[in-house]
A = this chain, B = another copy of it.
Amino acid sequence: MKRSRKAADTSTPAKIDIRSVASLARVSIATVSRTINHVPTVDPILAARVWKAVRELNYFPNTQARALVSGKSRLLGLIVSEITNPFFPELIQEFEHAAVAHGYEILLGSTNYEPKTMELCSRRMIERMVDGVAIMTFGIEDFLLDRFTADNIPFVFIDPAPSRPLNSVLAVDYRAGIYEGVQHLAVLGHRDIGFISGPLNRRSAQSRKAAFLSCLESTGIKANHDWLIEGTHTLDGGRDAMRHILALPNWPTAIMCSNDMTAIGVQHALFEANLKVPSDFSLIGFDDIHLAEYTIPPLTTIRMSCKDLANKAIENLLSRLNPPEGQGEDATTITTRLIARQTTGFPRNTLQDLKQTPARKPQSR
């Protein structure tokens, strides 16, 4: 008998809607609506009555109904490529946090790099009438953007198709960090640097690789194309790519990776081959996921702040939903920088560690 405080003895739990509040507060439902939406012109007396009723009834407005009439779902789409890559959860967390702080909910879509899934995701987002979408897939088919454009849904994404002169771009300055990385390696004496990229059909992977190549050139190092391997941005991809490199007659002395997971895969391949980091190979990752600090040895990597990314994305979206006074049309930039930890050192066979047994395969050039 203690379970219902309002429902008297009808066994149904007495649904509380705006009308219940109105009648308890002895006002019209319009006034209730205005009150809870903080319309300033409500008589404080009535407002007080309304709030009291709201509290007593433990009322909260039905989001569906609100969304229906207002046309706004207060839902933000977040499309990521692969939730299993730790970079994304970190991003999602920030994203969720920022969204909730602004009274939005997030709808998560994970594409797993499959265009079909991506297609489905977009559709889900549109069906749910998200108010905006952040596309964090590091590469998206152009035509999918059109879809959102057509539905007039604001979106942000990383690494624009050059054909998109929109204000919805989160430009990542890959070069800054990668340049630091290459310099770092060069200073240590490395001249033979390999690069394991992400899948090259993705723009971000291309950008990173291009940045690497360009930085190499700026540094006066010649690229060896045998050491430019296409990975998958996954552990397995990194491991396989490194195995591939180890099967080559010539080895580089350092490896840069397009993301941290790849680098961890590389560490694994090296471990399998009984090779040591950094004495046999120097290694640099990209992203600076939380885990990078905890690999053995801790991974030198290039940090891209996902907190930044998330916040800027939300900011961008929200500012377009509720356009403020100044219409900032500029693309936002996310920067990157080197975090030096312990996977980088002098090249093997260098004076500094001649006492060490060199790697099993002789280095020839």
The closest CB in chain B to the CB of A78 belongs to B108
**Binary contact readout A50-64 vs B (1 if CB under 8 angstroms, 0 otherwise):** 000000000011111
A296 an interface residue at 8 Å Cβ cutoff? yes
Binds B, one of A124-132, A155-163, A315-323, A325-333: A124-132
B93 near A150 (CB under 8 angstroms)? Answer: no
Answer yes or no: A267 CB below 8 A from chain B CBs. Answer: yes
**Which of B13, B64, B96, B296 is the one whose CB lies under 8 Å from A267?**
B296
Residues of B within 8 A of A248 (CB): none
Q: Is the interface of A mostly helix, strand, loop or mixed?
A: helix
> Does A65 belong to the interface (CB within 8 Å)?
yes
Contacts of A90 in B (CB 8 A): 84
The reply on A253 being an interface residue by CB < 8 A is no
Q: Which residues of B contact A120 (CB under 8 A)?
A: 100
- Category for how many chain A residues contact B: 35 or more
On whether the beta carbons of B152 and A128 are closer than 8 Å, the reply is no
Q: Are A84 and B93 in contact (CB under 8 A)?
A: yes
Is A105 interfacial (CB 8 A cutoff)?
A: yes
- Contacts A60-B126, A68-B62, A296-B271; is A110 near B84 (CB within 8 Å)? no
Complex CA distance for A123 and B268, rounded to whole angstroms: 44
A92 interface residue per 8 A CB criterion: yes
Q: Which residue of B lies closest to A126 (CB)?
A: B60
Q: Chain B residues near A100 (CB, 8 Å)?
A: 120, 124
B73 in contact with A84 (CB, 8 Å): no
Please determine whether B73 and A64 come into contact, CB atoms closer than 8 angstroms.
yes
Check: A88 CB closer than 8 A to any chain B CB. yes
The answer, among B110, B127, B128, B129, for a CB contact under 8 Å with A93, is B110
A86 interfacial contact with B, CB 8 Å: yes
A98 CB within 8 Å of chain B:
no
Answer whether residue A294 sits at the interface, using C-beta atoms and an 8 A cutoff.
Answer: yes
Q: In whole angstroms, how far apart are the Cα atoms of A123 and B100 in the complex?
A: 12
List, in ascending order, chain B residues with CB within 8 A of A68's CB: 62, 64-65, 68
- Whether A60 and B127, one on each chain, are in contact in the complex, defined by CB atoms closer than 8 angstroms, is yes
With a CB–CB cut-off of 8 A, which chain B residues contact A106?
Answer: 108
Assembled-state Cα–Cα distance A93/B85 (Å)? 11
**Option from B63, B67, B124, B293 in Cβ contact (under 8 Å) with A105:** B124
Are the C-beta atoms of A235 and B295 separated by less than 8 Å?
no
- For the complex formed, measure the closest distance between the CB of A291 and the CB atoms of chain B, giving whole angstroms: 7
**CB of A264 closer than 8 Å to a CB of B:** yes
**A235–B105 touching, CB < 8 Å:** no
In the complex, whether A358 has a CB less than 8 A from a CB of chain B is no
What is the minimal beta-carbon distance from A296 to any residue of chain B, in angstroms? 5
With a cutoff of 8 Å between Cβ atoms, the chain B residues found around residue A13 in the complex are 150-152
Asked if B235 contacts A290 (CB within 8 A), the reply is yes
Alpha-carbon gap, A62 to B124, bound state (A): 11
Would A63 and B127 count as touching, CB distance under 8 A?
Answer: yes
Known: A64-B64, A100-B124, A268-B294. 15 other contacts (CB 8 A): A13-B152, A60-B127, A63-B127, A64-B73, A65-B68, A83-B89, A83-B96, A86-B291, A88-B89, A93-B110, A96-B109, A96-B110, A106-B108, A235-B290, A268-B296
Report the 3 A-B pairs with minimum CB-CB distance, sorted nearest first. A64-B67, A64-B68, A89-B89
> Which residues on A are within 8 Å of B, measured CB to CB?
13, 60-65, 67-68, 73, 83-84, 86, 88-90, 92-93, 96, 100, 105-110, 120, 123-124, 126-129, 150-152, 235, 239, 264-265, 267-268, 271, 290-291, 293-298
